[in-house]
Amino acid sequence: MKRRDFISGIAGATAVTAISACGKNEPQLSTTITNTATVNWKMVTTWPKNFPGLGTGANRVAQLINEMSGGRIKVKVYGAGELVGAFEVFDTVSRGSAQLGHAGAYYWKGKIPASVFFSSVPFGLTATEMNSWLYNGGGLKLWEEAYKPFGLIPNPAGNTGTQMGGWFNKEINSLSDLKGLKMRIPGLGGEVLKKAGALPISLPGGEIFPSLQSGALDATEWVGPYNDLAFGLYKVAKYYYTPGWHEPGSTMECMINEKAFNKLPKDLQSIVRNAMKVANLEMLSEYTARNQQALQTLIEKHKVQLKHFPDKVLTELKKISAEVINDEAKKDQLSTKVWASQKEFIEQVAKWTNISETAFIKARSL
């Protein structure tokens, strides 16, 4: 009996010591997930389920989180329309109905004017340069600042590289050919075309084909050959234009509900964010590998006519783009700050790109 009393006394003393050691941290423990618990998360996306590159890119984020966490976090992915509509992703993750959202930041222009700068800027940063600004030029910190009021943590989680200029059923020989054109094009690119006299329309990917088929759209941009072939856009448009002046390096995002993230132990927090970095690299690599194969199929099998925007059209679009971007940057203090950061980075990094990659590509083409 005395021996049992002695052991009980030690146990009680240990418990008291542990509670005292926790002190002010004790309330946090009740809201923190333990190292042995399994976390089940939902990811909603703006992409059709399993759509090549974008939808599978979201799947890859989920797979990486599951594998890197040893199964401690399990993420179920929902395509656009399965759980919520494509353009409801932001609000769904913000209110915590889903913990993750895979999308393009420019879709949230109506909520956060500065969001467009975190996707792609016309005649702006390439994919490599965009990653450099986000990871090493202060861009990601500004992005986090923009999403903080909505309880969200943004992350780069993919990049399509330079996109195509779009699908048209008439040739574009001058800026006047764009006037009155009903074209699916989101973000700053849409604002540029609007100022050029076109009628930009923002639609989720799944609605593009039927809208072109019915005549609700006259033209569209989507991504590039890899994705455009999968959507069968060659069936409803004749001319395929390059370059994608409006999206030179389009970043895809994976936003995290901040409250859900803060409940994770530090190691799982690191796993989640690093899984998105891996997915960011993998998506760009996939598009680089697949686009030319798909373009060859479009041209040789489906007889698509590849066209280049005339230099005079690009020159005029570049001039309009500068005006639109400066106007957008004046809309609020955050937009002003974000564009100032990105503009300074563009001016700096473009010098290196021109004497390194641009010069080499020119030499390789000789």
pLDDT tens for 24-82 read 443 444 456 666 689 999 999 999 999 999 999 999 999 999 999 999 999 999 999 99
What pLDDT is recorded for position 20?
A: 36
Distance CA 120, CA 317 (A): 15
For residues 226 and 291, the answer to whether their CB atoms sit within 8 Å is yes
The H or E element spanning position 75 is strand 73-78
Residue numbers of the chain with a pLDDT score lower than 50 = 1-30
What pLDDT is recorded for position 1?
A: 40
What pLDDT is recorded for position 274?
A: 98
Burial of 36 (0-12, 13-18, 19+ CB in 10 A): exposed
Calculate the CA 134 to chain-centre distance. 12
Distance CA 209, CA 236 (A): 7
Match 């008439």 to its residue by tokens. 170
For residues 190 and 326, the answer to whether their CB atoms sit within 8 Å is no
The residue extents of the domains of the chain are: 39-158+250-288
Task: Give the residue ranges of DSSP H helices in 23-171.
Answer: 26-29, 55-68, 89-94, 127-136, 139-147
For the domain made up of 39-158+250-288, give the CATH fold: D-Maltodextrin-Binding Protein; domain 2 (3.40.190)
Nearest by Cα to 51 from 283, 210, 224, 230: 230
- Residue 101: beta bridge partners? 44, 255
What pLDDT is recorded for position 23?
A: 41
What pLDDT is recorded for position 6?
A: 39
Distance CA 185, CA 161 (A): 17
What pLDDT is recorded for position 33?
A: 66
Report residue 173 as tokens: 């020989």
